[in-house]
């Protein structure tokens, strides 16, 4: 009988399962889709991950890429290879709820219930953020974006100013479209390289900072700015427009906060993700700022035995990133082993 439940077969869940197996810990491994890869199975394949490939490897198997960076498709293939390498086969099952009980958790799978001594939630940001507006019939989230080829017409509005908004706008311009970006304030960019190295090489050193030194960062999920590959050039050439926030929507007509209007065939909401995790009990402590579960040393601060993988600042300042998952998985597996072996 499994003592541990791991929910989610993305990189966080796969890394956890590999580290548990290394320590001889039996775990039930479930995923709503029943296959490894998580969101990388459906994200737009040509997107390039912002981190260099060297910071995306999971414990026990290095990623091999021809260049410095890896695409979504390449990383998906790596996750499938990782699952095969460690013989990790998630079963198709969805957790509808879990309840903390004496000695562990009672977990409801819809068609049956099962008791576990510990649960590792590794579903990450499983909810979509939408603008605070009634969506029109032609609205979609950036998670559904599959490239400019899906456009039946050419009038595209992108809401947002983060990584996804910038990447989609640049991709459309390269395809000959002239998109419009709607956002609060100006579109800002992060430098991708510093002194000839990717900025993630320096950020990795900050990942060892104690959480108390990064309290302002950890209390809410940060927003991430994109890298300017061609955005400002396209804007200067008049191939894309930046307009103020959307105020209202009437069919295909969008009204902006400055009083201007425009007609659009498709609206892409690049407004990010959130930690929904609807299966968690309401008693689990969450951040009042954005709702992410609050953790310390990889475990919920008020629900012992509930471990948080891939959650913002659950163990360190990089816990939600791939490099942080690779650091957290062996540490959480070691803590779990101690917990299970305690008298």
Give the integer Cα–Cα distance in Å for 57 and 82: 10
Cα 155 versus chain centre, distance: 28
What are the extents of the domains in the chain? 4-126+275-341, 130-190+225-269
Contact present, 245 and 256 (Cβ < 8 Å) = yes
Q: What is the pLDDT of residue 88?
A: 98
Asked if the 130-190+225-269 domain carries CATH number 3.30.70.250, the reply is no
**Of 11, 192, 2, residue with least CA distance to 115:** 2
One pLDDT digit (tens) per residue for the chain, 343 residues: 569 999 999 999 999 999 999 999 999 999 999 999 999 999 999 988 888 889 899 999 999 998 889 999 999 999 999 999 999 999 999 999 999 999 999 999 999 999 999 999 999 898 999 998 888 788 999 999 999 987 766 899 999 998 899 999 999 999 999 999 999 887 887 666 666 676 666 666 666 666 666 777 787 776 777 777 788 999 999 999 999 999 999 888 999 999 999 999 999 999 999 999 999 999 999 998 888 999 999 999 999 999 999 999 999 888 999 999 999 999 999 999 999 988 7
Residue 76's region, left for phi above 0, alpha for psi from -120 to 50, else beta, is alpha
The partner residues of 255 in beta bridges, in order of sequence, read: 248, 261
Between strands 295-296 and 246-250, the pairing is unpaired
Asked if the 4-126+275-341 domain carries CATH number 3.50.50.60, the reply is yes
Give the integer Cα–Cα distance in Å for 282 and 292: 12
Sheet holding 27-31, edge to edge: 91-92, 27-31, 4-7, 118-121, 306-308, 299-300, 295-296
Q: What is the pLDDT of residue 154?
A: 80
DSSP at 223:
P
Q: Which two tokens stand for residue 168?
A: 């989609």
Contact present, 157 and 180 (Cβ < 8 Å) = yes
Q: Which two tokens stand for residue 302?
A: 């008020």
Q: Which two tokens stand for residue 293?
A: 């579960």
pTM of the model: 0.91
Cα 67 versus chain centre, distance: 23
Tell me the DSSP string of 166-205.
HHHHHHHHHTT---EEE-SS---B--SEETTEETHHHHHH
Q: What is the pLDDT of residue 258?
A: 94
Q: What is the pLDDT of residue 209?
A: 65
Q: What is the pLDDT of residue 20?
A: 98
Beta carbons within 8 Å of 171's beta carbon, 6+ residues apart:
46, 147, 148
Tell me the DSSP string of 284-321.
S-B-TTT-PBPEETTEESSSTTEEESS-TTSSSTTTTS
Give the integer Cα–Cα distance in Å for 307 and 314: 9
Q: What is the pLDDT of residue 77?
A: 98
Q: What is the pLDDT of residue 97?
A: 97
> Do the two domains 4-126+275-341 and 130-190+225-269 of this chain adopt the same fold?
yes
Give the integer Cα–Cα distance in Å for 24 and 341: 12
Q: What is the pLDDT of residue 270?
A: 94
**Of 300, 336, 295, 337, residue with least CA distance to 319:** 295
């Amino acid at each position: 009988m499994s003592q541990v439940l791991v929910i989610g077969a993305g990189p966080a869940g796969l890394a956890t399962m590999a580290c548990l197996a290394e320590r001889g810990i039996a775990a039930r491994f479930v995923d709503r889709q029943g296959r490894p890869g998580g969101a990388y199975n459906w994200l737009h394949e040509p997107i390039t991950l912002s981190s260099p490939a060297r910071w995306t490897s999971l414990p026990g198997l290095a990623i091999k890429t021809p260049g410095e960076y890896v695409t979504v498709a390449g990383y998906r293939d790596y996750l499938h290879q990782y699952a095969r390498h460690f013989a990790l086969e998630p079963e198709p099952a969805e957790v509808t709820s879990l309840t903390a009980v004496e000695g562990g958790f009672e977990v409801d799978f819809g068609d049956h219930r099962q008791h576990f001594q510990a649960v590792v939630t590794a579903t990450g940001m499983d909810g979509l953020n939408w603008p605070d507006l009634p969506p029109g019939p032609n609205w979609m989230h950036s998670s559904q974006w599959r490239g400019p080829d899906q456009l039946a017409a050419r009038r595209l509005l992108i809401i947002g100013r983060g990584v996804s908004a910038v990447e989609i706008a640049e991709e459309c311009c390269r395809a000959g479209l002239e998109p419009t970006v709607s956002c609060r304030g100006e579109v800002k960019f992060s430098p991708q390289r510093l002194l000839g190295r990717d900025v993630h090489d320096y950020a990795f050193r900050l990942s060892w900072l104690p959480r108390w030194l990064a309290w302002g960062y950890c209390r809410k999920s940060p927003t991430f700015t994109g890298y300017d590959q061609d955005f400002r050039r396209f804007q200067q050439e008049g191939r894309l427009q930046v307009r103020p926030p959307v105020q209202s929507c009437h069919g295909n007509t969008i009204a902006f906060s400055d009083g201007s209007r425009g007609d659009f065939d498709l609206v892409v909401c690049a407004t990010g993700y959130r930690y929904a995790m609807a299966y968690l009990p309401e008693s689990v402590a969450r951040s009042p700022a954005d709702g992410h579960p609050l953790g310390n040393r990889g475990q919920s601060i008020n629900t012992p035995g509930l471990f948080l993988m891939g959650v913002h600042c659950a163990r360190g300042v990089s816990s939600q990133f791939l490099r942080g998952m690779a650091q957290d998985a062996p540490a959480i597996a070691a803590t779990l082993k101690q917990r299970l072996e305690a008298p």
